[in-house]
Chains A and B, each alone.
Chain A
Amino acid sequence: MADLVGHGITVPLPSGWEGRIGIRQPVLSGAVTGPALRTLAGAAAGADGADDGSGNRYPVTHLANFALPADRGDFGSGAVDIMGTTDCLVALIEYGPENVDTALFARRPSLPQPGATDFDPNTLQHKIRSQLGYQRFCTVGGRAFCVYVVIGGSRNLVPLAGSARSVLGGIRIGAAR
Chain B
Amino acid sequence: MSFTETVVNKLATGWRSRRADRRSFLAGAAVVGSAVATSPWRWATTPISAYDAVCGEGALCEQGWSVFCCSINAGANQCPPGSFVAGWWKADNSGFCCGSARYYIDCNAMCGSDWQCRCGSGSCDQRRVACNQFRYGQCHQEIACYGPVVCRVVTCTPPWQFDASCTATSLTDNRTVTHSAPCLPGNCPSELTKFYYDRGGPGGRYGPVTAPERNSAAGGRVMTTRGALIYQLRTGGVQVATGAVLAKYRALEGSRGPLGEISAPMSTATDGGTTATVATFQHGMIVAAPGWTRAIRGTVYDHWRRMGGFRLLGFPMEDQAVAGTGIRQLFQRGVIYDFPGYPPFLVNNHYLSLYREMGYAGGLLGAPRSDEVRPTDGRQYYTTFEKGRMYWTPERGAVALLQPLFDAWKATGAERGPLGYPTGVQKRYPNGSHAMAFQKGNLYYTKAHGAHMIFEPFLAKWRNTGSTVHSRLGLPITDRVDRSGSSRVTTEHGAMVSSAAYGVHLVYGPIYKVWQAAGAEGGRFGLPRTDVFAVGDRTRCDFQGGILVYDPATGKVSEL
Bound-state Cα–Cα, A99 to B137, Å? 9
Bound-state Cα–Cα, A56 to B167, Å? 9
Bound-state Cα–Cα, A164 to B101, Å? 33
Q: Are A74 and B93 in contact, CB atoms less than 8 angstroms apart?
A: no
Q: Are A99 and B66 in contact, CB atoms less than 8 angstroms apart?
A: no
Beta-carbon contacts under 8 Å, A23-68 to B: 24, 27, 29-33, 36, 51-52, 54-58
Q: Is A17 an interface residue (CB 8 A)?
A: no
Contact of B93 among A30, A36, A102, A127 (CB under 8 A): A30
Q: Is B131 an interface residue (CB 8 A)?
A: yes
Q: Is A106 an interface residue (CB 8 A)?
A: yes
Q: Is A123 an interface residue (CB 8 A)?
A: yes
Q: Are B133 and A33 in contact, CB atoms less than 8 angstroms apart?
A: no
Q: Are A33 and B175 in contact, CB atoms less than 8 angstroms apart?
A: no
Beta-carbon contacts under 8 Å, B164-178 to A: 167-176
Q: Are A135 and B135 in contact, CB atoms less than 8 angstroms apart?
A: yes
Q: Are A103 and B132 in contact, CB atoms less than 8 angstroms apart?
A: no
Least CB distance from A151 to B in Å reads 15
Q: Are A74 and B171 in contact, CB atoms less than 8 angstroms apart?
A: yes
Beta-carbon contacts under 8 Å, B133-175 to A: 133-138, 140-144, 148, 158, 160, 167-175
Of chain A, the residue at the smallest CB distance from B170 is: A55
Residues of chain A contacted by B319 (CB below 8 angstroms): none
Q: Are B90 and A137 in contact, CB atoms less than 8 angstroms apart?
A: no
Residues of chain B contacted by A137 (CB below 8 angstroms): 135, 137, 144
* Stretch of A3-11, A90-98, A153-161, A168-176 lying at the B interface: A90-98
Q: Are A24 and B137 in contact, CB atoms less than 8 angstroms apart?
A: no
Of chain B, the residue at the smallest CB distance from A24 is: B172
Q: Is A133 an interface residue (CB 8 A)?
A: yes
| Interface residue count on the A side (C-beta < 8 Å) | 44
Residues of chain A contacted by B99 (CB below 8 angstroms): 29-30
Contact of B175 among A32, A73, A95 (CB under 8 A): A73
Q: Are A77 and B131 in contact, CB atoms less than 8 angstroms apart?
A: no
Q: Is A146 an interface residue (CB 8 A)?
A: yes
Bound-state Cα–Cα, A126 to B66, Å? 7
Query: Taking A36-B174, A103-B141 as contacts, is the C-beta distance between A27 and B133 under 8 angstroms?
Result: no
Q: Are A24 and B170 in contact, CB atoms less than 8 angstroms apart?
A: yes
Contact of A128 among B64, B89, B128, B174 (CB under 8 A): B64
Residues of chain A contacted by B172 (CB below 8 angstroms): 24, 36, 73-74
Q: Are A74 and B89 in contact, CB atoms less than 8 angstroms apart?
A: yes
Contact of B142 among A93, A95, A103 (CB under 8 A): A103
Q: Is A112 an interface residue (CB 8 A)?
A: no
Least CB distance from A101 to B in Å reads 10
Query: Taking A55-B160, A99-B138, A126-B64 as contacts, is the C-beta distance between A27 and B92 under 8 angstroms?
Result: yes
Bound-state Cα–Cα, A124 to B149, Å? 10
Bound-state Cα–Cα, A95 to B135, Å? 13
Q: Are A31 and B93 in contact, CB atoms less than 8 angstroms apart?
A: yes
Q: Are B90 and A54 in contact, CB atoms less than 8 angstroms apart?
A: yes
Least CB distance from A104 to B in Å reads 4
Q: Is A14 an interface residue (CB 8 A)?
A: no
Of chain B, the residue at the smallest CB distance from A137 is: B137
Bound-state Cα–Cα, A128 to B138, Å? 24
Q: Is B117 an interface residue (CB 8 A)?
A: yes
Contact of B64 among A27, A98, A127 (CB under 8 A): A127
Query: Taking A32-B93, A33-B92, A122-B133 as contacts, is the C-beta distance between A73 and B174 under 8 angstroms?
Result: yes
Q: Are A96 and B169 in contact, CB atoms less than 8 angstroms apart?
A: yes
Q: Are B174 and A96 in contact, CB atoms less than 8 angstroms apart?
A: no
Beta-carbon contacts under 8 Å, B86-106 to A: 89-90, 92-93, 99-101
Contact of A73 among B58, B160, B168, B173 (CB under 8 A): B173
Bound-state Cα–Cα, A20 to B92, Å? 21
Most central of B62, B92, B132, B160 by chain A CB within 10 Å? B92
Bound-state Cα–Cα, A120 to B133, Å? 9
Q: Are B90 and A99 in contact, CB atoms less than 8 angstroms apart?
A: no
Of chain A, the residue at the smallest CB distance from B89 is: A74
Of chain A, the residue at the smallest CB distance from B149 is: A125
Residues of chain A contacted by B174 (CB below 8 angstroms): 33, 36, 71, 73
Residues of chain B contacted by A27 (CB below 8 angstroms): 92-93, 101
Residues of chain A contacted by B167 (CB below 8 angstroms): 95-96, 98-99
Bound-state Cα–Cα, A175 to B342, Å? 79
Least CB distance from B61 to A in Å reads 9
Query: Taking A54-B90, A99-B169, A133-B134 as contacts, is the C-beta distance between A126 and B141 under 8 angstroms?
Result: no
Query: Taking A95-B137, A106-B144 as contacts, is the C-beta distance between A126 and B169 under 8 angstroms?
Result: no
Least CB distance from A133 to B in Å reads 7
Least CB distance from A82 to B in Å reads 12
Of chain A, the residue at the smallest CB distance from B167 is: A98
Q: Are A75 and B173 in contact, CB atoms less than 8 angstroms apart?
A: yes
Residues of chain A contacted by B142 (CB below 8 angstroms): 102-104
Beta-carbon contacts under 8 Å, B120-136 to A: 128, 131-136
Of chain B, the residue at the smallest CB distance from A120 is: B133
Residues of chain B contacted by A123 (CB below 8 angstroms): 132-134
Q: Is A12 an interface residue (CB 8 A)?
A: no
Q: Is A141 an interface residue (CB 8 A)?
A: no
Q: Are B168 and A104 in contact, CB atoms less than 8 angstroms apart?
A: no
Bound-state Cα–Cα, A102 to B169, Å? 14
Q: Are B93 and A125 in contact, CB atoms less than 8 angstroms apart?
A: no
Bound-state Cα–Cα, A54 to B101, Å? 7
Contact of A95 among B134, B138, B144 (CB under 8 A): B138
Contact of B171 among A30, A75, A105, A124 (CB under 8 A): A75
Q: Are A126 and B138 in contact, CB atoms less than 8 angstroms apart?
A: no
Q: Is A142 an interface residue (CB 8 A)?
A: no
Of chain A, the residue at the smallest CB distance from B103 is: A54
Q: Is B63 an interface residue (CB 8 A)?
A: yes
Q: Are B137 and A104 in contact, CB atoms less than 8 angstroms apart?
A: yes
Query: Taking A33-B93, A55-B160, A56-B169 as contacts, is the C-beta distance between A125 and B134 under 8 angstroms?
Result: yes
Bound-state Cα–Cα, A33 to B66, Å? 23
Task: Give B contacts to A, CB under 8 Å.
Answer: 58, 62-66, 89-90, 92-93, 99-101, 117, 128, 131-138, 140-144, 148, 158, 160, 167-176
Q: A55-B90, A124-B64, A137-B135 are in contact. List 8 more A-B contacts (CB 8 A).
A: A24-B172, A27-B101, A30-B99, A95-B137, A103-B143, A123-B134, A127-B64, A129-B62
Q: Report, nearest first, the 4 A-B pairs whose CB atoms are least far apart.
A: A55-B170, A73-B173, A127-B64, A102-B141
Subset of 30 A-B contacts with CB under 8 Å: A24-B170, A29-B93, A32-B93, A36-B174, A51-B170, A54-B90, A54-B100, A54-B101, A54-B170, A55-B158, A56-B169, A73-B89, A73-B172, A73-B174, A73-B175, A75-B171, A77-B173, A95-B167, A99-B167, A104-B144, A105-B137, A105-B141, A122-B131, A122-B132, A122-B133, A125-B173, A126-B65, A126-B132, A135-B135, A137-B144
